[in-house]
Amino acid sequence: KQNRSDKPKQPPRLDETIPFVSNLWQFMTNKRLFITRARAALEIHPVIRCRLGPLDLHLLRGGNGNNNNISNGSNNSNSNGSNHGPPLFRATCHSDPWTLRIMRSAGYTPRDLAKLARDDSGAAATPRPGVAGGAGGAGGPDRIWHALHRLYDSALASARATDAFADRFQAALHAELVAPCPGPGPGHGGEAGEWTEGVRIFDTLKRTMTAAATHAALGPLMAEVNPGFVDAFWAYECHVEGLAFGLPDWLNREAVRARARFSDMCRRWYEVAEPRFEWDASGDGAEEWEPVFGSRLSSGLARWARRFGFEADSMGPVFMLLHFGLHANTIPVCTWVVMELLKDPELFQAVREEISQAELVRDGPDATFKGFDHRKLGSLPLLQSVYTEVLRLHVGVLITRTCTAPLTVGGYTLPKGSILQAPTEVGHLSEAVWSTQEHPASEFWAHRHVKETETRDEMTGQVSKRLKFSLAGRSGSFFPFGGGTGMCPGRNFAKPEVLLAVAMIVSSFEVDDVTWLKPDGSLSDRAAQNDVNYANSVAAAPDREMRVRWRRVR
């Protein structure tokens, strides 16, 4: 209702039975339900208020109907993500306090956290208006956020970094999954031509992709120094969201133990790598990969921490979060793609045929397989559609920002300093945006993002049909990588990693005998769904494992 006083009109509040208690309790204990209720309220109102403990939040709707098709200047407008979305993607909204919260929960020391908290100049090249830009002014020595984001731009989001990562990842995954190697170690795919029974898809991808992506991004030392790091990572990974936004540590002992174990491994690795590294070689112009820290992203992060005088106790957490960013979403996303293909033999065959177009040309008919061109893979329409559909259905997160200037949304003016959250699910699951008569938005439909086009050959008159990938008109309702200044800088690593792993499995294995297993290993009578424990954790893990038998066909 319009308020008659001079006070600005306030958005409605999210209902709760016990004021100040019920919503907070639900957020901490059943985030899935909290987000479902918020989604329902946002179907009616473009913005709602909600108090969670000390925080007064504004929940916003994404989507095309919200007058919010705002460009964020990112170079990303294809299936990697979207450069449109909710108003919180504007340049005046930032995510530093939330990133700090994640860093604190990972174990950065109070002194190093204080350095980050002191710098309110933001991540952009120009310091925020009215802010000195740290003690050093614009581009000055104290602009710690800007330095981090510059590193992300050059060593994570750039084409050069992506190509180097994709090549290393592909070679390492081939060694893990396909290369014949008797005895323990690589070769999870088994001997060529022989059936391997009881292959667990999620488990196999966790082992092989974690090892390969770690090799490509952090070099070979992590596996040498910490042989059990893959298991330790996944034991920690399932607790990260809860550690940052859920129960306090003293109620969360198992999570605290898992974090300490993996953080110690990262610190040990750093202590082995640090004295071996050539610190004098130049940073930005350095080679994309060297055998100590691995990629320029990893050595750049070490340089960033050194430049700002980080304490030894922060180094485990710094690299633990790099592992988290690298593995926690790509591997479940890849698993969902593989599961969808294996559930549908016709789709599997269609994708296999499409993928063959991206195989690198061999030196001769009998020459060995050389791998895939990751750029070509990323442009294949059906594969892109499947990838997009998986991101749409299995990525769920409350994108969070603080606004540094008043923001007008849906007729309400939210004051400077307001905390804004946009649940990706409101856009991703919108029936109005995604559904067709045969395929509701809640359903996986591999062809949702492709159109068939016909072209006529002018010489022969022959008509050929082609698929074309398109998100046209819907990109404002699709933001699995967030948007604006806080948009995921790893999105360009994620796509080739997922598609290369899918291509390698689809082209190298014959698969049958699909069954589903419950977490205790017993048979399940249904396929996997999003694990409710991963609500708001970006990519959800599957709550059922897929078991198959497979044999390597090359």
Residue ranges that bind ligand HEM, judged by CB under 6 A: 95, 99, 156, 325-326, 329-330, 333, 395, 397, 399, 480-483, 486-490, 493-494, 538-539
Shortest distance (Å) from residue 490 CB to ligand HEM: 2
Report yes or no: 293 and 214 within 8 Å, Cβ to Cβ: no
If phi over 0 gives left and psi between -120 and 50 gives alpha, with beta otherwise, what is residue 3? beta
The residue among 399 and 504 lying less far from ligand HEM, judged by its C-beta, is 399
β-strand 412-414 against 195-200: which pairing, if any?
A: unpaired
Q: What values do phi and psi take at 388, rounded to 5?
A: -65, -40
The residue among 41 and 216 lying less far from ligand HEM, judged by its C-beta, is 216
Shortest distance (Å) from residue 344 CB to ligand HEM: 22
- Which class for 386: exposed (0-12), middle (13-18), buried (19 or more C-beta within 10 A)? buried
Shortest distance (Å) from residue 365 CB to ligand HEM: 36
Closest CA relative to residue 61, chosen from 376, 535, 422:
422
The residue among 24 and 326 lying less far from ligand HEM, judged by its C-beta, is 326
Q: Which of 359-366's residues contact partners 24+ apart within 8 Å by CB, and which partners?
A: 359/507
- H or E element that contains 434: helix 431-434
The residue among 97 and 417 lying less far from ligand HEM, judged by its C-beta, is 97
β-strand 545-552 against 398-403: which pairing, if any?
A: unpaired
The residue among 27 and 481 lying less far from ligand HEM, judged by its C-beta, is 481
CB atoms within 10 A of CB 317: 24
Shortest distance (Å) from residue 404 CB to ligand HEM: 15
Shortest distance (Å) from residue 486 CB to ligand HEM: 4
Closest CA relative to residue 37, chosen from 61, 15, 10, 63:
15
The residue among 99 and 524 lying less far from ligand HEM, judged by its C-beta, is 99
β-strand 55-60 against 419-423: which pairing, if any?
A: parallel
Upper half-sphere CA count for residue 411 (Cβ side, 13 Å): 9
The residue among 163 and 359 lying less far from ligand HEM, judged by its C-beta, is 163
Shortest distance (Å) from residue 84 CB to ligand HEM: 13
The residue among 397 and 505 lying less far from ligand HEM, judged by its C-beta, is 397
Shortest distance (Å) from residue 281 CB to ligand HEM: 22
The residue among 342 and 539 lying less far from ligand HEM, judged by its C-beta, is 539
Shortest distance (Å) from residue 156 CB to ligand HEM: 6
Report yes or no: 463 and 431 within 8 Å, Cβ to Cβ: no
Distance CA 162, CA 176 (A): 20
CA distances from 39 to 32, 48, 90, 423 (A): 11, 10, 22, 7
Helix 330-343 / helix 201-218 crossing angle, nearest 10 deg: 140
Shortest distance (Å) from residue 349 CB to ligand HEM: 25
